[in-house]
Structure 1
Amino acid sequence: MPTETLATLANKRILLGMTGGIAAYKCAELTRLLTKAGATVKVVMTAAATEFMTPLTMQALSGHKVHLDLLDADAEAGMGHIELARWPDLVLVAPASADFMARLASGQADDLLTTLLLATPAPVALAPAMNQGMWSKPGTQANLTTLREQGIHLFGPDSGIQACGDTGPGRMQEPEALAASCASLFPTNMLSGRHLLITGGPTREAIDPVRYISNHSSGKMAYALAEEAVLAGARVTLVSGPVNLAVPDRVSCLFVDSAQQMLAACEQVLDQQDMVDAFIGVAAVADYRVAQVSEQKIKKQDEEMVLRLVRNPDILATVAERQERPFMVGFAAETENLLAHAGNKVRRKKLDLIFANDASATFNSDAAAAVALWPMTGEDKLAQQSLGPATKSFLARQMLTLISERLLQREAND
């Protein structure tokens, strides 16, 4: 199978659920194909599945512990089955027996695998495998209709000679076909091979050892972009101010406090030999810092206290002036005259693209909307496109699609 067919599996997390059936032997080759394509595979086996394949075999092939029991005392101390349900980008049940499909269609959760499928937010796919007579029964077909109505994907089954000697529909698809079907559920790796440098969160400008000037930025938009960019195939370096967020998996993160530290970290990354294709400045960088930071805590004395502030470096403008500059993406969080201020920022800082949004609606929120603006080739006008409102994760996908398109257009014009 050509490598390109499975390219979208790179960096993906696949939870492989195995039920009881002779077709379980095909899961060994399926796991090998998925991991070879760059996916991380974890395996959950029902008790019946272990009668056909050993957990040790699947552990050796996947490189991860095989999960067997719903009531695992060690795992459940940290609500392990819920954590496992949140982990994957896709859950594939292969083989999916007639009994398992019936229990899933009725909403049962009497073992680890059915419980995970009820709890997971990830897409679910089934690869049915059973005798042709079982497949054709009205009850099985009714369950199949129910599962499809629930949004579950069905891969197969194929027709042919079965282990019992019968011929007809019910054979589980071959591993190559199942791997390709998994890959088809993910969007094209539009950023494959790209290196993105993203800034996020607020900066903190010290007043004294215990006080600072900052803003309300949560960093959620930058972290969503970093996470979605990895899923789109990119290598991501995130330079983050102080936030209360976990670093997305597969993202390299540099933590900073001040604007000067953020610029220094960005320049460190840009000066490395590995080229940065796009710089995405999401961080809410403080425009000013205190001119003289006190070495000791300032004590309360007078009714008034005056702080002298000086301008911080403009990170976007500084990076845009580099001789070999990356594709420049800015963000404009405004409280008034949104498009006018954002358009001025594009021209003044020589940006290739900007996303403008309402500051009062986006800070600390899990959802947002934005307007994208970019220079039109050969014209003194800006094109624009509205994005959202949507969750910041979904909005990030829309933004990255536009970034990929504009980046390819700029490269075509160079």
Structure 2
Amino acid sequence: MSGERAARQGGRRPRVLLAVCGGIAAYKACEVLRGLQKAGCDVRATMTADAERFVGTATFEALSGAPVATSLYGNPGSPIPHIELAEWADAAVVVPATANVMAKMACGIADDCLTTTILACPCPVLVAPGMNVHMWQNPATQANAMTLRARGVSFVGPDSGRLACGDVGEGKLAGVGEIVAAALALLVPNDLAGVRLLVNAGPTHEAIDPVRYIANRSTGKMGYAIAEAAARRGAEVTLVSGPTALPAPAGVRRVSVESAEQMHDAMLSAFADADAAICSAAVADYTPAAPAGHKLKKSREHLDAIELVETSDILADLCAAKGGRVIVGFAAETDDLIAHASEKLRRKGADLIVANDVSRPESTFGADTNRVALVSAAGVEQLETMPLADVANAILDRVCELGTVPNSHK
């Protein structure tokens, strides 16, 4: 096992080497770096001399928190930077990969720090080409791309569109999100391949009238991180999402809902074809009994009280229909965390409850980290505070251990 999962089990973050080449899209490598960091990766960079003409090393050093390797010589802290970087990395991303650098890679030419480092890399390598359409379509470039693919190098893009020179055609650098997703795919195991995973996320909005509603502070970040991580590990993910400002993760089918009733119906419908479910949404426990069909005017329709009724219990209803399938629930609490989570595990019939204390700043709604306890019949496992991507993978690791396999309920 290698990559992200091995890195997590080894107690460190996955390491990505960013190899920045001299193209007009070099500035987008900064966004790729940020995207990888957001996913929990440690990123370091090497650059060609031409790349430095587009984006200075100071930018990448500030973003990565590490020196940028630009030369094989004069590095007091690293006499052989290309070997150290190559052995340090779990994956390497060449972005934007120019026709020149691709040609060097195909021929094994190592005449600067970047190409020497890539040649020495024993890890998976991803190439994200970015160049003029005629350069990309040139038979020499196509032959080089074919050679690299035959050697196991992965590619993302290029896309078609308007290029920096004004030409229109293939050669445009792939989107930052696509590049990040492709890089992360090199770091994770494919242990959920074929598993149909159902995830819900976010809050629900319970209408008082067409303008006002009852809601909670959930942002959906944790559920979206789970859906994204599961897709990278090969799962076919359906994400039932309440109202959030988050974009759908790459490769994930999103079903957008608003109310608890809509989420209940969408989850029960999708569960018919699912192998496992992870219920991370903060579903409202109560909803107005008789929402108004028009905006209530306080001048003539003073609202002294709202009659509420309980919403349907999504987790309990899924557990009642689960058979041999794995179901994970969440317990967001402000006190007696483990006691409440353990009671919820027993009462609902779930296989695992992910418990987090939302009164803590590192695990509250909207945070980019979480500190959770995994509560199951086997006991309680308290995890340290981690980025959401790492928490998501830890949960998915437990789902795998619980025996999730494709079509297990058929």
Alignment of 1:5-404 (within 5 A): 46=22, 68-69=23-24, 80-86=28-34, 100=48, 109-111=52-54, 142=78, 144-145=80-81, 148=84, 152-153=88-89, 172=119, 175=148, 179=153, 186-271=187-272, 275-300=273-298, 301=300, 305-322=304-321, 324=323, 326-361=325-360, 362-376=364-378, 383-404=379-400
CA offset at residue 248 of structure 1? 1.4
Partner of 1:223: helix, strand, or coil? helix
Q: Which runs of 5+ in 1 are unaligned?
A: 9-13, 18-43, 47-67, 72-78, 129-133, 156-160, 165-169, 377-382
Contact 1:227 1:248 in 2 (8 A): yes
Decide whether aligned partners of structure 1 residues 138 and 327 sit closer, same or farther in structure 2, where only a CA change above 3 A counts. Answer: same
Following superposition, the deviation at residue 388 of structure 1 comes to 2.4
* Structure 1: distance between partners of 2:322 and 2:397: 26
Is 2:326–2:351's contact at 8 Å kept on the other side of the alignment? yes
Instruction: Render the CA deviation track for 1:145-189: whole Å, top value 9, x for unaligned.
Output: 38737985399xxxxx9889xxxxx89479566649x99962322
Alpha-carbon distance change, 16 to 373 in structure 1, aligned in 2, over 3 angstroms: closer
CA–CA separation in structure 1 for the residues paired with 2:202 and 2:192: 23
Q: SS at 1:246's partner residue?
A: coil
Q: Is the 8 A contact 2:351 2:377 kept in 1?
A: yes
* Separation (CA, whole Å) in 1 of partners of 2:90 and 2:384: 30
- CA spacing shift, 1:278–1:375, aligned 2, 3 Å: same
Between the two proteins, the alignment pairs up a number of residues equal to 316
- Hey, what's the Cα distance between the residues in 2 that align with 1:123 and 1:251? 33
- Deviation at residue 336 of structure 1 after TM alignment: 1.4
Q: How many Å apart are 1:81 and its aligned residue? A: 4.9
Give the Å deviation of 1:244. 1.6
The normalised TM-score by structure 1 is 0.62
Query: Relative to structure 2, which stretch is displaced further, 399-408 or 238-247?
Result: 399-408
Partner Cα separation in structure 1 for residue 202 and residue 246 of structure 2: 10
Match of 2:95 in 1: none
How far does residue 396 in structure 1 lie from its aligned partner after superposition? 1.2
- Mapped to 2, the partners of 1:162 and 1:243 lie a distance apart of 47
Offset at residue 125 of structure 1 (A): 12
Give, as a single letter, the amino acid of the residue that structure 2 aligns with 1:326. Answer: R
2:338 aligns to what SS in structure 1?
helix
Give the match's secondary structure for 2:283.
coil
Decide which moves more: 386-395 or 84-93. Answer: 84-93
RMSD of the alignment, in Å? 4.8
- Rounded to whole Å, the distance in 2 between the matches of 1:16 and 1:138 is 21
Query: CA–CA distance in 1 between the matches of 2:314 and 2:213?
Result: 20
CA positional deviation for 1:116:
8.8
* Letter matched to residue 80 of structure 2: L
User: Share of identical aligned residues, percent?
Assistant: 32
Note closer, same or farther for the CA distance 1:285–1:109 as it changes in structure 2 (3 Å cut): same
Which stretch of the first structure deviates more once superposed, 139-148 or 205-214? 139-148
Kindly provide the amino acid, as one letter, of the partner of residue 188 in structure 2: P
- TM-score normalised to structure 2 length: 0.62
Please state how far the C-alpha of 1:15 moved relative to its aligned partner.
10
- Distance in 1, Cα, partners of 2:90 & 2:397: 28
